[in-house]
Chain A
Amino acid sequence: MTATSRAEKERRLTYAQAIREALAEEMERDPSLLLLGEDIGEPGGVFGVTQGLLQRFGEERVLDTPISEEAVIGAALGAALLGVPTVAEIMFSDFATLAMDQIVNQAAKFRYMTGGRTSAPLVIRMVTGTAGATAAQHSQSLEAWFTATPGLKVVTASTPADAKGLLKSAIRDPDPVLFFEHKLLYNSRGAVPADDYCIPLGEGRVAREGSDVTLVAYLYMLPRALKAAEMLAREGISVEVWDPRTLVPFDRDGLRRSLEKTGRLVIAQEAPRRNGFCAEIAAIAAEEFFPLLKAPIKRVCGTNTPMPYAPELEQFVIPDEERIAAGVREVLYNAVRAAPGG
């Protein structure tokens, strides 16, 4: 084993650790950076992401807040407008609904409304997706709502290495960034480089090379898409799995490059089908890359329902690797298969 691969092996971190490391490194780099959120201090956050940061950086910088989403996001914005970068945590992205004025009417538009004369270096970490039986108010995947609000950048980090590099970029970015973290990814492990690296916003990543179909997936759909690709490989189907990594800005060129290879597009998404970000990706492909397409586009999505509680219902609602694989086969063989939901 070479020295570097050993170092990389030692550097297999969980997604939660990678996020914590990004926060700590950025707090070290910029002593004015503040963290705000409910239970992020002593308790270290509901998912343990901020563990140890209070002890390390003190209560003047790691601010445990009352349960006041609107005031907390507004406070993060106000500090950012005065040049103090802030990272606020929304414990479950469902609770962003209580802060919608500050996110959508204020943060997203401040720069625009002021004719480009202000900047808000603010990151809102959104804990998103289902964690298994978390039901209708703790499981939503709301990222598409925010992509429909110009002025917000939207990041969906799906691996530990990406989470670290993208969060560092988000923190250094001068605009408001919503950073979506999937609950079921927190304990996933992966190699995370030890150096101080940033992954630019707006660059997708080929997570697995292939030549027959482009399968787009992010957050918890990414590991499922990779499993589906593995299954399909055994059937002789070569799937390229492509992770956009950020939804705004969106890497059109990356998608085009993949479609140039494959000519077929399947998009997997945990959120309900209707008006999900998959619809935007499908529209981009149909509008801009139609000449590259050899088959109709396929979306494999959550059903148009709230998230149910029972595990068997939840499983029905969210696409699994079988359903994703079926979507790929459908595009390849044009087999007709009704998708559940709408």
Chain B
Amino acid sequence: MQSLASYTPAFLKELYRKMVLIRRFEERAAELRSLGYIPGFLHPYIGQEAVAVGACAALGPHDYITSTHRGHGHILARGGDPRYMYAELFARRDGYNRAKGGSLHIANIELGIIGANGIVGGGIPIAVGAGLALKQARQIAVHHPDDPRARRADGVAVTFFGDGASNQGAFHESLNLAALWRLPVIFICENNLYGEFTPQHKHQTIRDIATRASSYAVPGLIADGNDVLDVYRVVSKAAEEARKGRGPTLVECKTYRHRGHYEGDMGQYRPAEEVAFWLEADPIKNYRRLLLAGAICTEEELQALDEAVEQELEEAVAFAKASPHPAPEEALEDVFVESYGGRALL
């Protein structure tokens, strides 16, 4: 745990609020799914909140992220609105993707969210492309400072992925490419010790995925993925390097998911002691204690933050419930851009 002195209370409280927002968003989503509101998959982010929140706290308005199947945390941390997220999960018209994507595909480029992804490792090469566009923006800024794209000249692209994804060719190809072209890309591996039902030691021979950085001559850093300030510190360092044009960093965040792989998986393949250990290391519980011990806020203030989150989510759920279902023929729209009527073509 870090010293709190170097941060403003407002910043520290916002980290707390965001983590609670994610946790409660996910708990409610699970409940809403069991009530039949959500037709599709859910991969809860519960337990890993410190990674998304710490990493996104290091990002600015011109930065981009790619996310994963376990994406709600990243999207909320990056500024996603729970109303449009629930509406998407409910498959309603007001969803971020107008009910065409669901949990695995929530995206909003304006917010810098290039998308969750249903393919393990699928977002990693796309983040490299975002890095390429950001590198180009640096040149635009030099030669055409008035071009609107010059604004993102300080941008970085962050790609989140799991320990399981670190065995995909896409990860290796992308890290090599980003290293070679010195692109402003931060590779954040959330090592939660499992790829689906398979423990890490049965899917790779290493423990520290950060060591894979050495194959590409880029820095490989390890953060305590259950400590939001440690994640913030490490990702800030990587972002600073990237913004200075020094290329990518691989950041491994050691963490754990509290629940099964997806909603409905009981996670019984995990030893009880292991689960108990990590529940004790709960990122929110520990951070809450830290804030109280450091006299950053009082119990009452934290409760007020918790209640504000409940209120926001309550309203978000109501918004989603009130949102209309799509008309069946909308299935034909959005295949292509409007110049072709946007509709399905032969």
Contact = CB atoms under 8 A, between A and B. Distances in A.
B219 to A, nearest CB: 20
A224 interface: no
A198 interface: no
A115 B132 contact: no
B170 A150 contact: no
B198 interface: no
A135 interface: no
Interface string B166-197: 00011001101100110000000000000000
A144 interface: no
A76 B108 CA distance: 19
B124 A79 contact: no
B59 interface: no
Contact of B107 (A70, A114, A250): A114
A68 B172 CA distance: 9
Given A71-B170, A150-B344, A82 B133 contact: yes
Given A83-B149, A117-B97, A74 B174 contact: yes
Interface in B290-346: 333-337, 339-340, 342, 344-346
A114 B170 contact: no
B105 A75 contact: no
A239 interface: no
Interface string A106-150: 100011111111110000000000000000000000000000001
Contacts of B115: 110, 113-114
A68 B114 contact: no
Contacts of A188: none
A113 B101 contact: yes
B199 interface: no
A51 interface: no
Interface in A136-186: 150-151, 153, 173-175
B170 A101 contact: yes
Contacts of A79: 129-130, 132-133, 136
A65 B107 CA distance: 28
B132 A66 contact: no
A135 B340 CA distance: 38
A31 to B, nearest CB: 8
Contacts of B35: none
A286 interface: no
Contact of A248 (B96, B126, B128, B346): B346
B132 A84 contact: yes
A116 B139 contact: no
Contact of A101 (B108, B119, B130): B119
Contact of A114 (B97, B122, B131, B181): B97
Contacts of B100: 112-116
A73 B125 contact: yes
A73 B128 CA distance: 10
Q: Which of A78, A116, A150, A174 has the most CB of B within 10 A?
A: A78
Contact of B129 (A80, A112, A119): A80
Nearest to A109: B105
B132 A34 contact: yes
Contacts of B130: 78-79, 81-82
B64 interface: yes
Given A78-B130, A119-B337, A32 B149 contact: yes
A60 to B, nearest CB: 6
A102 interface: yes
Interface string B134-151: 101001100000000100
B173 A68 contact: yes
A32 B334 CA distance: 26
Contact of B97 (A83, A101, A113): A113
Contacts of A117: 96-98, 107-109
Nearest to A116: B334
Interface in A46-82: 60, 63, 65-66, 68, 70-82
Contact of A60 (B109, B117, B122, B139): B139
Given A68-B176, A116-B333, A78 B109 contact: no
Interface in A270-300: 280, 284
A119 B335 CA distance: 10
A272 to B, nearest CB: 21
B133 A84 contact: yes
A80 B177 CA distance: 17
A114 B335 CA distance: 10
B245 interface: no
Given A70-B170, A83-B133, A106-B119, A78 B127 contact: yes
Given A113-B101, A252-B346, A78 B125 contact: yes
Nearest to A71: B173
Contacts of A101: 119, 122, 170
B95 interface: yes
Q: Which of B124, B132, B335 has the most CB of A within 10 A?
A: B132
The 6 A-B residue pairs with the shortest CB-CB distance in the complex, in nearest-first order: A78-B129, A74-B125, A115-B98, A116-B334, A71-B173, A68-B173
Interface of A: 32, 34, 60, 63, 65-66, 68, 70-84, 86, 101-102, 105-106, 110-119, 150-151, 153, 173-175, 202, 248-250, 252, 280, 284
Interface of B: 64, 66, 95-101, 105, 107-109, 114-115, 117-119, 122, 124-134, 136, 139-140, 149, 157, 169-170, 173-174, 176-177, 180-181, 333-337, 339-340, 342, 344-346
28 contacts: A66-B176, A68-B173, A68-B174, A70-B125, A70-B169, A70-B170, A71-B173, A71-B176, A75-B126, A75-B132, A76-B129, A78-B114, A79-B129, A82-B109, A82-B114, A84-B133, A86-B129, A101-B119, A105-B119, A110-B107, A111-B334, A114-B97, A116-B100, A117-B108, A118-B107, A202-B345, A248-B345, A249-B345
